[in-house]
Amino acid sequence: MTVTYDYAGKRVLVTGGTRGLGAGIAHAFAAAGADVVICARNPAPASSGVPLPTGAAGGRIRFVRADVRDADDVERLFDGLDRLDVVVNNAGGSPYANVAESSARLHRRVLELNLLAPLLVARRAHPLLAASGGSVIMIGSVSGVRPSPGTSAYGAAKAGLHHLAACLAAEWAPAVRVNTVVVGLARTEEAAGHYGGAFGQVAATIPAGRMATAEDVAAACLWLAAPGYVTGAQILVHGGGETPAWNWLTSDEISR
């Protein structure tokens, strides 16, 4: 079975669309016919294949340089955007650092990127989305639903982001839907550093037997952005979560 979407005539903004999950989401909307705007602090690396050329296979992708933490940059990003149907607040992330050993400045920057910036972008997009009957998708994380040692500020920001989405869904209904994709451990170039490149071992802790891909996350975004009743929801794209360590221990006991 093939599921296809037709986003022709729709405009989609994907923050952080130059690499990783954001690039996959931008490609998927463009392939479905959307006119896609991506932003980041730097243009896409050549290896990402972004921007996609205009063509029969899909819409097009346009890059705007913008730091989503900066209100002036966000204003510039929206300059000339007369229509908007979907915003995917994807830009996010955090270095790995224990709270006691990292600076207050780092924690503030992590909260700005993962919580305040999506709020800034969603707020600026609201009138355009209300006019089009559009929707916002927050890219959340399992780090926001279970302890996230080493990325505590990030986990707290993502938990806040999930809650923000539910609040905005209630404030902006019925004109604008707001949902969250709670992403599990995902296989991206940047994630290689985070997981020490041990993708195989990490995959073994996931019931689905593999890490999430950009395509998995993009599929959830395409579905959530299509007209529907779902708002204020958290869609878990985590392959069943993470098998708890005690489960491995007790299975070993049993097999002995």
Binding site residues, ligand NAP, CB under 6 A: 15-16, 18-22, 39-42, 67-69, 90-93, 113, 139, 141, 183, 185-186, 188, 190-191
Report whether 74 contacts 120 (CB < 8 A).
yes
* Closest CA relative to residue 15, chosen from 91, 72, 71, 73: 91
- Give, in order, the Cα–Cα distances in Å from 160 to each of 1, 114, 166, 195, 230: 37, 9, 10, 24, 20
Residue 154 annotated as catalytic: yes
In whole angstroms, what is the distance from residue 145 CA to residue 154 CA?
A: 11
Nearer to ligand NAP, 7 or 154 (CB): 154
Q: In what order do the strands lie in the sheet with 11-15?
A: 60-65, 35-40, 11-15, 86-89, 135-141, 177-183, 234-237
At its nearest, how many Å lie between ligand NAP and the CB of residue 172?
21
- Give, in order, the Cα–Cα distances in Å from 108 to each of 102, 114, 157, 176: 11, 10, 10, 29
In whole angstroms, what is the distance from residue 99 CA to residue 116 CA?
A: 20
Nearer to ligand NAP, 30 or 185 (CB): 185
At its nearest, how many Å lie between ligand NAP and the CB of residue 64?
10
Joined together, the tokens standing for residue 149 give 């040692």
- Contacts of residue 255, defined as CB under 8 A and 6 or more positions apart, other chains included, come to none
Nearer to ligand NAP, 8 or 146 (CB): 146
At its nearest, how many Å lie between ligand NAP and the CB of residue 98?
19
Report whether 121 contacts 67 (CB < 8 A).
no
Catalytic residue among 7, 96, 154, 229: 154
Nearer to ligand NAP, 129 or 211 (CB): 211
Report whether 19 contacts 42 (CB < 8 A).
no
At its nearest, how many Å lie between ligand NAP and the CB of residue 177?
19
At its nearest, how many Å lie between ligand NAP and the CB of residue 54?
21
Nearer to ligand NAP, 135 or 141 (CB): 141
Joined together, the tokens standing for residue 43 give 């243009």
Nearer to ligand NAP, 76 or 132 (CB): 76
In whole angstroms, what is the distance from residue 180 CA to residue 221 CA?
A: 9
Catalytic residue numbers, as ranges? 154
